[in-house]
């Protein structure tokens, strides 16, 4: 077994290698002057079980091309099997047609990864579980839930806590976390009565006097979280903490969250944190290298990955 890393999240790849006590494979992933990507694997990988660690985070297209070219390089170097380890699958939000003449980009990216030569895919907290069906190769979708549960129990009093879904679409994810923590569930129901009017947020469930945990898969602009936190506090919530798997945090998101009423935003390092995220007063990162490392080890040994979450 060998592990190759692209440039999207080198610290995470090094953490995975440390967990597995395996050195990272020497490889060059660089740019020509016109920004064309060049890859050279500098070790013999013939007959090896290869794992390519690469999130398709900002800049998404560059990191996606790196992933595809690394896979191609490994296949042409006679690797026995290539698994694309994509902690954050960046095109997952484009999983359906949202209007006339729009693409299903998540399916296109799945096709590209497959045609590049990947034999398996290992990812985490897909925006929509059905994206696994976009791939015609085995795909394991890991869950950050167990990592979050441990962190919540270490930092919060779960006896006076309610898990909250920031929208109706995330109820399944929130219910699963509430079940693990044995806490009640609440839902933020967003609706805009008329065009041009601000959203009205109704809270379904009792949050008065309780610490609220907002749970979601992706935080991008941060607007939904900030508005949900204000709505919960207006209904008498004691405080609001958010646990999100993928911290995209684009544009002014970090500033928006820092200046919000959120007690804390906790994200995983599926996307490499920026310097602004590292120094933010109310944003904290938890590591997922042990989770992904364990899944990689089990995949190599042909053991069950799903048993990680039982």
Return binding residues for Mg(2+).
127, 167
Binding residue ranges:
34-36, 93-94, 127, 167, 192, 216, 220-224
In terms of Cα–Cα distance, which of 288, 289, 239 is closest to 264?
Answer: 239
Which tokens is 68 given? 């595809």
Which tokens is 209 given? 């006097």
Cα–Cα distance for residue pair 154/40, rounded to 1 Å: 43
CA distances from residue 203 to 161, 167, 168, 186, 260 in whole angstroms, order as listed = 15, 10, 11, 7, 19
Q: Which residues of 187-198 are buried (b: 16+ CB within 10 A; e: fewer)?
A: bbebeeeeeeee
Cα–Cα distance for residue pair 282/292, rounded to 1 Å: 26
Which tokens is 127 given? 């925006």
Q: Give backbone dihedrals phi and psi of 204, rounded to 5 degrees, phi first.
A: -100, 110
Binding residue ranges for ATP:
34-36, 93-94
CA 221 to chain centre: 15
Give catalytic residues, as residue numbers. 190
CA dihedral 70, 105, 291, 298 (to 10 degrees): -60
CB hemisphere CA count around 178 (13 angstroms)? 22
């Amino acid at each position: 077994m060998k592990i190759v890393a692209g440039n999207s999240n080198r610290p995470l790849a090094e953490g995975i290698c440390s967990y597995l006590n395996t050195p990272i494979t020497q490889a060059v992933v660089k740019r020509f002057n016109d920004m064309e990507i060049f890859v050279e694997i500098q070790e013999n990988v013939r007959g090896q079980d290869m794992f390519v660690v690469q999130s398709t985070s900002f800049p998404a297209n560059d990191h996606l091309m790196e992933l595809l070219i690394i896979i191609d390089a490994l296949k042409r170097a006679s690797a026995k099997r290539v698994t694309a380890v994509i902690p954050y699958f960046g095109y997952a939000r484009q999983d359906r047609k949202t209007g006339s003449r729009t693409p299903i980009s998540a399916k296109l990216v799945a096709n590209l990864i497959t045609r590049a030569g990947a034999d398996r895919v290992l990812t985490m907290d897909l925006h929509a579980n059905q994206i696994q069906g976009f791939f015609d190769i085995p795909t394991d979708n890991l869950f950050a839930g167990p990592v979050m549960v441990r962190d919540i129990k270490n930092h919060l009093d779960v006896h006076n806590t309610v898990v909250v879904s920031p929208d109706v679409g995330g109820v399944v994810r929130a219910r699963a976390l509430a079940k693990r923590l044995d806490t009640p569930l609440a839902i933020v129901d967003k609706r805009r009565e008329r065009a041009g009017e601000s959203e009205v947020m109704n809270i379904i469930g009792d949050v008065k006097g309780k610490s609220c945990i907002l749970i979601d898969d992706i935080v991008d602009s941060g607007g939904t979280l900030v508005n949900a936190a204000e709505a919960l506090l207006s209904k008498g919530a004691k405080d609001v903490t958010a646990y999100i798997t993928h911290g995209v945090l684009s544009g002014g998101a970090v500033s928006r969250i820092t200046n919000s009423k959120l007690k804390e935003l906790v994200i995983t390092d599926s996307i490499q944190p920026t310097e602004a995220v590292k120094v933010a007063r109310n944003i904290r990162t938890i590591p997922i290298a042990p989770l992904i490392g364990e899944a990689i080890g089990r995949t190599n040994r042909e053991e069950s990955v799903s048993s990680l979450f039982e």
